[in-house]
Structure 1
Amino acid sequence: MPFGAQLLEGGRVRFRLWAPVAERVDVLLQKPGAGAIALPMEARDAGWFELTSDEATVDDLYRYRIDGSCEVPDPASRYNPQGVHGASQVIEPGRFVWTDRNWRGRPWEEAIIYQLHVGAFTPQGSFAAVRERLDHLVDLGVTAIQLLPVGAFAGAHDWGYDGVLPFAPAASYGHPDELKDLVQTAHQKGLMVLLDLACHCFGPEGNYLSVYAPAFFAPRTTEIAGRSIDVTLAVAGEFLIHNALYWLEEFHLDGLRLNAALLQDNAGELDLLEAVADAVREGPGKHRHCHLLLGHDRRAAHYLQWHDHSAPRRYEGVWNDAAQQAMQEVLSGASAGAVATARSLDRLGACLSRGFADGGADGLLPTAFVTFLQDYARIGDRALGERLHQLTPARPLGALVATSLLAPMPPALFMGEEFAAAQPFLYFCDFNPALVKNVASDRRKSFAHLQGFRATRARARVPDPTDPTTFHRCKLDWSSVRQPPHADWLDFYRRLLAVRRREICPRLPGMHEEAVQHTVLGGRGLSIHWTLGDDSILTLLANYSGVQLEGLQRPVGAVLWAEPGEADHALTQGRLLPWSVVWLLRGAA
């Protein structure tokens, strides 16, 4: 890694920092039980400072002192045990003993993703505590966990998108070796581990890099959202590429999700997303499955195309917000006691058949689109952080769950969804109020345009993100899992995912980019047929209304999934009961 503190052969440590506006930089080395030692760094070309020292050793704490006054942590720190304002620590990555050398990951077609926030997933909020819950995820039937960003952020708790030390696992979650132990244990249980990568943007507190390297960031005023890196700057691009390689190589992660903000439209610029993908394919991806995903953006299609079926795509998939929004439209009608419009059903059918509802995805496989009903943003962006089961009747929600989990698209769940967790997922952060002001008032004002929150008194119901109780309210209550109705939902999800793993995942490899058609049935339902990789035909028949749907042609195929009695009506009487979903599979001709 060309940045930060690197342990060299023979025990020496090389320190390297890009500080283009600094005239002098020292390493302040803190030995246990002794005062700090100032070691001057040598100025190099293009704003770089470097020092190789035999006085530093593993576990020593250090800071950089800029021009004799400003003391800052290492922006490429591997660990900051005292938080983002404290000293960085020299870490030897090779000290952890890996036992997963035979792990090669899992093919993308087997992906069933479980998105989780390390701090809120368990009462302890640590890597070690997540490790203790892996058996639950194995029993559930998921094959991959996706961690929200874990790079060090200000304070003790945060969503993770306000990180300012993108190479350092947050100290509140545990030591880097504890994250490695989580990954290794997951691999032993057959689970992939993916990570949301958020190094494109630095949070509003603890961003010392902007002091001595302001050119690293896009020129704009610092706001509550933080500052985005300048993707046209070579040093920033190199920083991002190495950050991606770092998580995949040093932590043996199986994949990354990159933000769609990195998509570039300007011709002639280095395409960072291509550069990241090429570095991964030529690096860790040469020897094992390393899956790269993108946030929702129609421009992502360029990165998802196959050149031919012998070479991997640069990115395996994109999170499909359009499908999520279409499913939400259908559920919103159910919540209001109304029937979903034919337009909203057509949008849902388009998303399930060709990815994006309004084009831009021609020639892409269904497996290029990650489908989800709810995620951290869809829940957390609500004023009160409600989950779908708290907003929607159970039967309509169950119909959309059965739709999303058995479609060819890789499904994603958000933590607690599988047992209808009662806990909300609210926006929370732990900024120093003296440094970052008006977080609560700005949050409440953002909902002023919504019915029910237009009055000041009503907006006061929106939880204060900086209040520690807001964060603690989001921690999952695992004692509820064995109690109704939570146990019933968990059984429902387990049965659906068992069907997916047994009948659908093995048939996905070899699918072709055919034009999948959907049909809106009677203005209330959908019919879609997919040809799978073994030439079998997967069929969805669904009634997304509270009224019986009649006059259907008798479907052909063996029933993969239906609630008791629902398949009989479809197969023998050409009827779909209210809010019923029937999945069928017909073998290759």
Structure 2
Amino acid sequence: MPFGAQVLEGGRIRFRLWAPAAERVDLLLETTHGGGVTIPMACTEAGWYELTSDRATAGDLYRYRIHGFGEVPDPASRYNPQGVHGPSQVLEPGQFVWNDRGWRGRPWEEAIIYQLHVGAFTPQGTFATARERLDYLVDLGVTAIQLLPVGAFAGAHNWGFDGVLPFAPAASYGHPDDLKELIQAAHHKGLMVLLDLACHYFGPEGNYLSVFAPEFFTKQATNLAGRSIDVTLPGGREFIIHNALYWLEEFHLDGLRLNAALFQDEQEQADLLAALARAVREGPGKHRHCHLLLSHDRRAARYLRWADHSDPRHYEAVWNNAAQQAMQDVLTGAPSGAVTAAQPLDQLGACLSRGAAAGESEPLLPTAFVTFLQDYAQIGNQALGERLHQLTPPRPLGAMVATSLLAPMPPALFMGEEFAAAQPFLYFCDFNPDLVKDVAINRRKSFAHLKGFRTARTRARIPDPMDPATFQRCKLDWSSVQRSPHADWLYFYRRLLAVRRREITPRLSGMHEDRIRYLLTGDRGLSIQWTLGDDSLLTLLANYGPAPLDGLQAPAGAVLWSEPGDAATALSQGRLPAWSVVWFLQAAA
């Protein structure tokens, strides 16, 4: 990296910091042998301070003393063992011995994503204990783990999007080598590991970089005084691109998801995302699969243009928020703020057949859209953090799960979804109370417009994000997977994913975006037919309503899945029961 502490050939350590507002910078070194050393750093050019020394070794702790601003950690630290306010530690990445050198990743068509928050995934909330759950994930049938951001943040727990040391895995999760062990263990089991990249935004506590390099950030503060990098600056773009390459190269990750909607200027966003994609394709992506994804962003289609039907020009896929909203609206029977005036069922048909909501964009390959029923944001933005099974009866939910998991779009699950976890996923953080005094008040006020939370008394039921008990309530209870109804849901998900891996995944490569069509039948009936890459036909017939649908005709092909089990038999008589879906697969002629 062009900044931070880098071990050079011969063992010398180069320290490099951009501090344009500083008149002088000293390196404060705490050696592993005890004792401290203060060494002045030379100002080389345009605010860069640099020092190469043989007095430092891997394992030493260090800070920068910036005259006029105090003592601060390295904003490009690889590890801060005492938290974001403590000293950084010199690491030698080459000391970790990788044994996954034969791993080249998996094609994007094979992606079945499991999104998880490291701190809430297990009782201990560490990389090491997450590694102990890999066999469970393999048995479930997923092929990729997606970690919410792991960059160091203030306090002991956080969603991860308030990080302030974007190169340093959070110490509360473990040592960087623990994360590497998790990733290579996943590779040995055939699992990809993806990461949410949140380096463009710095949280409200521990952002020392904004003090001695204020021009690095946009002028406006956001989200409780957090700051976003100014991507119109070459230095800002370089920082983000290096951060992406760092996680892919140093940690052998298989891909990254970026929140493109948070970049400020639209043209600068386009330039940055294109440059980042080129750097990945010409770097680690030349030798293995490195998947680049975008989170919810209606403008993402321009980055998903396919040069041909094998290699994406920029990004593989976008998380399809429109599809999630359409599925939720169909389940509830009423629009919840859809982007067009189309009915929820029409929206769902458009999202599952062409990816985007009705009228939004030209068709793209189905694999360019990740379909999900719920994720951390959809659950966490509920006032009480309720999961979908707590808001929807089992039969409608089962029909929608069977829809989302067998559609050609790569599906994504949120941790615990597969066994209907009783634990909520609430908004939680651990900022200094003196810095952020009104987190709970602001959180509760944001729901004042909703029925059930219009008085101070009812809003008091909304958990305080700063209360440690709020975080503890979100930790999954793994003992529940042995009991009904959790075991029943888990069995349901496992069977569906087995069908997907066996019958659908092998046929996705080579699909064409113009060979898909959907048809509405009445108010609640939907039929979609996809021509898969091997010219076989995949057909969905669904009734997303409380009354049976009559006068239907089953398409040609074998029944791939019937939910509930008697729906296919009823369909042979021209009737589709309430809240039922039947999937058919017809082999190519």
So what's the TM-score if we normalise by structure 1? 0.97
User: In structure 2, what is the equivalent of residue 458 of structure 1?
Assistant: 458
Give, in angstroms, the shift of residue 521 of structure 1: 1.2
Give, in angstroms, the shift of residue 37 of structure 1: 1.1
For the structure 1 residues 521 and 568, does the alpha-carbon distance in structure 2 shift closer, same or farther, using more than 3 Å as the test?
same
Matched, 1:78 2:78: yes
305-314 or 473-482: bigger deviation: 305-314
Matched, 1:566 2:559: no
For the structure 1 residues 325 and 41, does the alpha-carbon distance in structure 2 shift closer, same or farther, using more than 3 Å as the test?
same
Q: For 2:527, what is the secondary structure of its paired residue?
A: strand
C-alpha separation in 1, matches of 2:342 and 2:557: 27
Q: For 2:64, what is the secondary structure of its paired residue?
A: strand
Matched-pair contact (CA < 8 Å) for 2:143–2:192:
yes
Q: Deviations over 1:43-65 (max 9, x none)?
A: 01111111101001001000011
C-alpha separation in 2, matches of 1:211 and 1:29: 21
Q: For 2:299, what is the secondary structure of its paired residue?
A: helix
Paired letter, 1:469:
A
C-alpha separation in 1, matches of 2:91 and 2:176: 9
C-alpha separation in 1, matches of 2:520 and 2:267: 41
Give, in angstroms, the shift of residue 159 of structure 1: 0.2
C-alpha separation in 2, matches of 1:450 and 1:310: 46
User: In structure 1, what is the equivalent of residue 12 of structure 2?
Assistant: 12
CA RMSD of aligned residues (A): 1.7
Q: For 1:573, what is the secondary structure of its paired residue?
A: coil
Q: For 2:10, what is the secondary structure of its paired residue?
A: helix
C-alpha separation in 2, matches of 1:499 and 1:517: 23
Instruction: After TM superposition, list the pairs within 5 Å mapping 1:296-315 onto structure 2.
Output: 296-309=296-309, 311-315=311-315
Give, in angstroms, the shift of residue 191 of structure 1: 0.3
Give, in angstroms, the shift of residue 421 of structure 1: 0.3
Give, in angstroms, the shift of residue 516 of structure 1: 2.3
User: In structure 2, what is the equivalent of residue 523 of structure 1?
Assistant: 523
C-alpha separation in 2, matches of 1:269 and 1:462: 36
C-alpha separation in 1, matches of 2:87 and 2:251: 22
User: In structure 2, what is the equivalent of residue 152 of structure 1?
Assistant: 152
For the structure 1 residues 50 and 585, does the alpha-carbon distance in structure 2 shift closer, same or farther, using more than 3 Å as the test?
same
Matched-pair contact (CA < 8 Å) for 2:62–2:87:
yes
User: In structure 2, what is the equivalent of residue 391 of structure 1?
Assistant: 391
Matched, 1:119 2:144: no
User: In structure 2, what is the equivalent of residue 485 of structure 1?
Assistant: 485
Paired letter, 1:431:
F
For the structure 1 residues 479 and 520, does the alpha-carbon distance in structure 2 shift closer, same or farther, using more than 3 Å as the test?
same
User: In structure 2, what is the equivalent of residue 129 of structure 1?
Assistant: 129
Q: Deviations over 1:392-447 (max 9, x none)?
A: 10000000000000000000000000000000000000001011221111111111
User: In structure 2, what is the equivalent of residue 404 of structure 1?
Assistant: 404
Paired letter, 1:568:
T
Matched-pair contact (CA < 8 Å) for 1:334–1:392:
no
Give, in angstroms, the shift of residue 334 of structure 1: 9.2
Q: Deviations over 1:360-394 (max 9, x none)?
A: 43141000000000000000001100001111100
Paired letter, 1:411:
P
Give, in angstroms, the shift of residue 311 of structure 1: 3.8
Q: For 2:516, what is the secondary structure of its paired residue?
A: coil
C-alpha separation in 1, matches of 2:376 and 2:262: 20
For the structure 1 residues 545 and 253, does the alpha-carbon distance in structure 2 shift closer, same or farther, using more than 3 Å as the test?
same
User: In structure 1, what is the equivalent of residue 344 of structure 2?
Assistant: 344
Give, in angstroms, the shift of residue 317 of structure 1: 0.2
Structure 2: unaligned runs, 5 residues or longer: none
Give, in angstroms, the shift of residue 525 of structure 1: 1.4
Matched-pair contact (CA < 8 Å) for 2:421–2:476:
yes
Instruction: After TM superposition, list the pairs within 5 Å mapping 1:11-90 onto structure 2.
Output: 11-32=11-32, 34-67=34-67, 70-90=70-90
Give, in angstroms, the shift of residue 342 of structure 1: 8.2
Give, in angstroms, the shift of residue 268 of structure 1: 7.2
User: In structure 2, what is the equivalent of residue 442 of structure 1?
Assistant: 442
| Percent of aligned pairs with the same amino acid | 76
Matched, 1:97 2:104: no
Matched-pair contact (CA < 8 Å) for 1:423–1:473:
yes
Give, in angstroms, the shift of residue 309 of structure 1: 3.2
Matched-pair contact (CA < 8 Å) for 2:353–2:518:
yes
Paired letter, 1:164:
V
Q: Deviations over 1:445-467 (max 9, x none)?
A: 11111110000000000000000
User: In structure 2, what is the equivalent of residue 210 of structure 1?
Assistant: 210
25-34 or 486-495: bigger deviation: 25-34
Matched, 1:295 2:288: no
38-47 or 421-430: bigger deviation: 38-47
Paired letter, 1:378:
Q
Q: Deviations over 1:76-97 (max 9, x none)?
A: 1000000000000000101111
Instruction: After TM superposition, list the pairs within 5 Å mapping 1:130-209 onto structure 2.
Output: 130-209=130-209
C-alpha separation in 2, matches of 1:270 and 1:356: 20
